[in-house]
Amino acid sequence: MQQAYKLSRLYALTDKNGITDSCFHTRFGANFPIIYDLFEKLYHSHPHKKEAFENLIQILVEKFKERSEEQKLIDIERSKNPNWYASNEIVGMMLYTERFNQNFKGLEEKIPYFKKLGINTLHLMPFLDVPEPENDGGYAVRNYRETNPKLGTMEDFENLAKNLHQNGMNVIMDFVLNHCADTHQWAIKAKNGDEKYKEYFYFFKDRTIPDEFEKTMLEIFPDTAPGNFTWLEEQQEFVMTLFHQYQWDLNYKNPRVLVEMIDTMLFLANKGVDIFRLDAVAYMWKDIGRFNQNLPEVHTLLQIFKLCGQIVSPGVAYIAEAIVAPEEIVKYFGEGNAEGDECDIAYNATFMALSWEALASGNTDLLRKSMYSVPKKPMNTTWINYARCHDDIGLGFDDRLIYELGKNPLMHRLYMLRYYCDEQGTFGRGKRFMQEPNGNARLSGSMASLCGLEKALEEKNDFQIHLAQKRIHLQHAIILSLGGIPMIYSGDEIASTNFYNYLNESDKKHDNRWLHRPMMNWDIAENLEKYPIQKSVFENLKKMIYLRKEIPAFADNNDLEFIDSGNSHLLVFKKTDKKGEHVWVICNFSEYETTFPSWFIGLNKKVKNLLTDEQFSLQYQNFIGRYDVLWLTLST
């Protein structure tokens, strides 16, 4: 279709709806032709293409009209600063609302707590309506337009979002794109034989086609949910269920599904969401004979989501939840002509896992080697840097890099698992998750327990308690200085150890990831004077957050530079602000004191450690304590 004709249809629609906003017209005019071409690329021969596209354009107009004036002002301001989410002033916390403080109103009560610590971005774990008891921790959505009644109403969420915004805070929510609950109205209609809604999913009369699919499909939860298809006895059909039997995969080969989900996303954006975490995006497109992750069509879908968001709510940002190899994850920022037009943010999952590998081995060779191999990301995109989250720690290291270091990949992973899980003289108190026949597994456990605090407290060993605190400090200091969005996991700020009471919760006891999803201990959090260890962790983190916000170099301007210091115990990197001022971060992953050279800063240069205010002149070799972190800048 000619560009001129596309635009004429576009302006006829905006005129019809009485939209005179010049910024909206500009965004619509810029993005509409691209969306049309991407839509045509995916659905050129689909019988519902025209109807679905017409519906999409009407939705974009309607959702813009529904957006509040306050939100539109924020959109304009953020459009002038497209990398707002990569500021050094952004610090996030991830939490389960009900486990943190019961419900949305309970969260509102704790806004002073967040502000005290310095948190200004909240990632609220899934809070939409879900079936009980099986809902995969909230990732099986029954209704995308209602909240979980346990947490409050959608109006309660809107009030929470407004209150957070008034306090200078942002809201991140999980938007589950790949699947919905089998009790969603679409699934219920499909079960009842409604052909329109059966096309929203993948149905098959027998195993012939599912067997072909499974030749190139991974099993995501082989222990608890083996296979990728579920037999529906009443319907006498199979349905695709990559995650769990009660989570039906949505069929994005049907354009109606894409339009429904864009409509839903914009509805939620208008309720107060600042950043969407797009869940399980790597699996959104499936084809027989093609590996079921990271297909090119996934990226086309995400570009359409992003560009539609840019038209209606350009102040909203998007996180790709794709826990894949580094060379794949950077593709989720967009490539070629679409560079920067896909997701704005991605999880730095490889770095997270490698930081625990380095802590176990006391050696940063694999961490540094892996970071050198990560392709450069586009400008105005950034990482979420985290040490722990709600999920397990996957040991998805690049086997090739492990081989290059002279190690066997499987044996090295098993070493890590023994180190953190087997209590053989080591400090870790983790548990294996989803163990494979060869012994390989993922890893569950809280930050404090993995860092040795649980064991040290049990043994009443003051020296080991001290070392555990230093390991926690090390992990937090790194994520706060890498650039991007540092994400603190709720409870880590008060050194919460493993939460074994999950074994008493019937719907959770079979999933040991609840080990590191604790109920917030408000007795500790609100009475830190009585708990000196937890107070020390909290105050150290609070100080680092304050410092981060004062150091422009800790923003993400694509300036991160890793440095090989020649000492395998050390991780060294440099951050540079827009004025050319440098901060060197030096981290000792070893339980032993060691030294670092001065060549990458300069012999006899006078430096200041921003974490301690200590000033000293660099020698040929310089001392750094066990598990210490230095934030060095040239002293004036």
Residues assigned a catalytic role: 279, 321
Span between the terminal Cα atoms of the chain, in Å: 62
Angle between helices 22-43 and 69-79 (to 10 degrees): 80
Helix (H) or strand (E) holding 629: strand 629-634
List the one residue out of 187, 334, 174, 182 whose CA is nearest residue 264.
174
SS (H, E, C) 69-106: HHHHHHHHHHHCCCCHHHCCCCCEEEECHHHHHCCHHH
Helix (H) and strand (E) counts in the chain? 23, 25
- Residue 563 tokens, joined: 């440095």
List the one residue out of 619, 628, 625, 574 whose CA is nearest residue 599.
619
Count CB atoms within 10 A of the CB of residue 325.
17
- The span from the CA of 130 to the CA of 180, in Å, is 9
φ/ψ of 369, rounded to 5, equals: -60, -40
Q: What is the amino acid identity at position 151?
A: L
Residue 474 contacts residue 627 (beta carbons within 8 Å)? yes
* Residue 268 DSSP one-character state: H
- The span from the CA of 615 to the CA of 618, in Å, is 10
Give the ranges where 215-254 is alpha helix by DSSP (H). Answer: none
Q: What is the amino acid identity at position 352?
A: M
Give the ranges where 281-321 is alpha helix by DSSP (H). Answer: 296-312
- The span from the CA of 148 to the CA of 169, in Å, is 22
Residue 382 contacts residue 484 (beta carbons within 8 Å)? yes
Helix (H) or strand (E) holding 436: none
CA 323 to chain centre: 9
List the one residue out of 74, 62, 56 whose CA is nearest residue 14.
62
Helix (H) or strand (E) holding 28: helix 22-43
Following DSSP, what letter does each residue of 378-423 receive, concatenated? PTT-EEEE-S--SS-B-----HHHHHHTT--HHHHHHHHHHHHHS-
List the one residue out of 44, 24, 42, 43 whose CA is nearest residue 32.
24
The CA distances from residue 531 to 117, 224, 523, 527, 543, in Å, are 17, 39, 10, 7, 18
Helix (H) or strand (E) holding 464: helix 462-481
- Kind of pairing between the strands at 629-634 and 606-609: antiparallel
Helix (H) or strand (E) holding 468: helix 462-481
